[in-house]
Amino acid sequence: MLDPVSKEFVLSVRVYFEDTDAGGVVYHASYLKFFERARTEFLRLLGWNQGELLKNASCAFVVSDLSIQYKRPAKLDDILVIRTSLKELRRASFVFEQRAFRDDVLMTSAQVRVVCISPSTGRPLPIPEDMYKEIEQLTCAA
């Protein structure tokens, strides 16, 4: 769901046993999966299916760098709300700010740069023009 006021994409995820360590605390790498799902669903909401982009050899999106901060431990069966917003848009990449909340408590936050690449060569490509324009409208409206 896209929050019309904040322009953030909001996705709820439940913490399952597979997401935790032996103590029932969310394993640090599980947040990367939660954030990936939110970015994927964000693009899907805009009408862009990453599987179709790959199938058509249009483009693929890869994480080129990220910074993550762990604030508080989430635990088994928690419901986390992942809030995703666009912070920067360039011709071949964009930067997402992603935050995981339990109720109103910030658990984890990250900044993630995603680069558009050619599926066949792995080299950077410009984001497809129609997708770029749609994403640009969101960032300009924020």
Tell me how many domains the chain contains: 1
**Does residue 126 lie in a domain region?**
yes
Q: Is 104 a catalytic site residue?
A: no
Rg over alpha carbons for the chain, rounded to the nearest Å, is: 16
The predicted model scores a pTM of 0.88
**Does residue 31 lie in a domain region?**
yes
* Rounded Cα gap, residues 38 and 56, in angstroms: 23
**Does residue 45 lie in a domain region?**
yes
Domain, as residue range, for 50: 9-141
* Rounded Cα gap, residues 47 and 128, in angstroms: 13
pLDDT digits (tens, 9 = 90+) for 10-65: 999 999 999 999 999 999 999 999 999 999 898 888 778 777 776 676 788 899 99
Indicate which CATH number applies to the domain containing 26. Answer: 3.10.129.10
Identified catalytic residue from 3, 21, 77, 130: 21
**Does residue 2 lie in a domain region?**
no
